[in-house]
Amino acid sequence: MTMPQFHNLGAANTVERFLELVLQKRDGAVDAWLFRGQREIGWSPQPQIDRRQFLEYRTKEGKDRLWHEDRLLTDFKKAARPHANIDPKELWEWLALAQHHGLATRLLDWTNNPLAALYFAVEEVRSVGDSAVWCYRHNGDSWISHRKSGGPFSIRAIVEFRPPHVVPRITVQGAAFTAHPSPRPDRRPKWPGDLRRITIPVGCRHTFRQDLERVGVNRASLFPDLDGISVALNRRRSHDLADGQHTG
What amino acid is encoded at 210 in this protein?
Q
Element (H, E) at 176: strand 175-179
Give the pLDDT means over successive 10-residue stretches in the chain (248 positions): 88 95 72 90 94 91 94 89 74 87 92 92 86 94 75 91 64 74 82 95 93 84 57 54 44
In a domain, 179, yes or no: yes
- Cα(63)–Cα(106) distance, rounded to whole angstroms? 16
In a domain, 237, yes or no: no
Q: Which residues contact 35 (CB under 8 A, 6 or more apart)?
A: 22, 110, 111, 112, 113, 114, 116, 117, 118, 133, 134, 135, 136
In a domain, 215, yes or no: no
In a domain, 25, yes or no: yes
Predicted local distance difference test score (pLDDT) of residue 238: 55
Structural domain span for residue 130: 7-204
Q: Which residues contact 214 (CB under 8 A, 6 or more apart)?
A: none
Predicted local distance difference test score (pLDDT) of residue 110: 93
In a domain, 82, yes or no: yes
In a domain, 233, yes or no: no
- CA of 59: how far to CAs of 50, 62, 149, 177, in Å? 12, 5, 29, 26
Predicted local distance difference test score (pLDDT) of residue 34: 92
**Residue in 3, 36, 43, 13 with CA at minimum distance from that of residue 137:** 36
In a domain, 246, yes or no: no
Predicted local distance difference test score (pLDDT) of residue 241: 52
Predicted local distance difference test score (pLDDT) of residue 6: 94
What amino acid is encoded at 109 in this protein?
D
Predicted local distance difference test score (pLDDT) of residue 236: 55
Q: What value does the CA radius of gyration of the chain take, rounded to a whole number of Å?
A: 18
Give the chain's domain count.
1
Give yes or no for a contact between 152 and 179, defined as CB atoms under 8 angstroms apart.
yes
- Cα(246)–Cα(248) distance, rounded to whole angstroms? 6
In a domain, 91, yes or no: yes
Give yes or no for a contact between 69 and 105, defined as CB atoms under 8 angstroms apart.
yes
Predicted local distance difference test score (pLDDT) of residue 150: 74
